[in-house]
Amino acid sequence: MKMKNIGAAVLALSFAFSFGACMETQATSRSDIAAISVKANGSNFQYWNEDAASFQALKDYVKDVTSRKSKNYIPPEERVAVFDMDGTLLGERTPSYFEWMMYLHRVTDDPSYTPSEEDRAIADAVTGKSDATFTGDEIAQSQSRVFAGMTVPEYDDYVRQFMETEAAGLNGIKRGEEFYLPMAEVMSYLQANGFDVWVISGSDRAALRVLADGVLPVARDHFIGKDVQYVASGQGAADGNDYVFDQKSDVVVRGQLLQRDVRMNKVAAIVREIGRQPVLAFGNSMGDASMFNYTIAKNKHKAMAFALLCDDTEDDRGNEDVAATMRAACEENGWTPVSMRDDWKTIYGYGVKAEGK
């Protein structure tokens, strides 16, 4: 979601969040999401329409590449599947990404924190309260800066608390429950078939670990995302190459932005951290285009890329124009489109709808 659209969405939905405010939920609980288990033969999917072309394409692909009799057989050690997070596994339109909304809460609504004038100005621009413009790097630096100085447990607790706030624009769901049930099924199905599953996101890696902990079947070391520096509490301006952690007085705290994980950086991170070319990729935007293309181009194995279309305005806060643009990109690039409206039976659970629906 682009920054100018974030501002309009935030203002339209009213940006009044509180850690203590959550409503009685109708969504599928985190424990129930964690319990999703799809058999290797794919016989017990619950949330996909079985006649959907994308669903059939996925099942046909998995059956083909896991059959030792097939010329397209892929050994288990090379069955790497990569997933974007926001808009692919987790809702991103309430009214924006989890990380963005938590950042905006920190700057504008957290009584325990006083932001700098610079960070306040950036937040105002993001929410559309000012006409100032900032680069993606400047915004990412601000997102990291407002949490700098927190210990790892303190940041994790902050994420958990924000997970308890309601997802704006949806009825009956908290932010920590905004997982797409059909995609949780896909992850389970792939793991049952010997795929090594990774999450590759533009959001903060540490936040992703907390969000998905105990919900998605992804190992803690299989998250790649935006990274911040980690420093010793007593390090000050000293370079990490010169400073020795003091076991009596130091704790590890968050520092400034280290690297964003977007566009081509996703490919670089895959090469650096996984060291194997994926054979399956799942995403939802042109921010995933490099990851898609890297997966399917010049691959020694049969490979596919699946792109989610945000076309559901009943069960989610979809945008049909954005979905149409993404569908056209799929046709142009050889990606397989997944209609959230037509291919899925539900997104978050049958009791959750977009407000007003």
Decide: residue 29, CB within 10 A, 0-12 exposed, 13-18 middle, 19+ buried. Answer: middle
> For position 9, what pLDDT does the model report?
58
Residues (pLDDT < 70) of the chain are 1-26
Phi, psi (degrees; rounded to nearest 5) at 188:
-60, -45
Phi, psi (degrees; rounded to nearest 5) at 207:
-65, -40
* C-alpha–C-alpha distance, residues 228 and 297, integer Å: 31
> For position 357, what pLDDT does the model report?
81
Write out the two tokens for 310. 């945000």
* C-alpha–C-alpha distance, residues 93 and 87, integer Å: 8
pLDDT per position as a tens digit, 125-151: 999 999 999 999 999 999 999 999 999
> For position 8, what pLDDT does the model report?
54
* C-alpha–C-alpha distance, residues 146 and 256, integer Å: 9
* C-alpha–C-alpha distance, residues 173 and 40, integer Å: 30
Q: What angle do CA 353, 7, 155 make, to 5 degrees?
A: 80
> For position 18, what pLDDT does the model report?
43
- The answer to whether 351 and 172 have CB atoms below 8 angstroms apart is yes
> For position 44, what pLDDT does the model report?
98
pLDDT per position as a tens digit, 288-316: 999 999 999 999 999 999 999 999 999 99
- The answer to whether 283 and 307 have CB atoms below 8 angstroms apart is yes
Is the entire prediction scored with pTM above 0.75? yes
> For position 16, what pLDDT does the model report?
41
- The answer to whether 219 and 118 have CB atoms below 8 angstroms apart is no
> For position 58, what pLDDT does the model report?
98
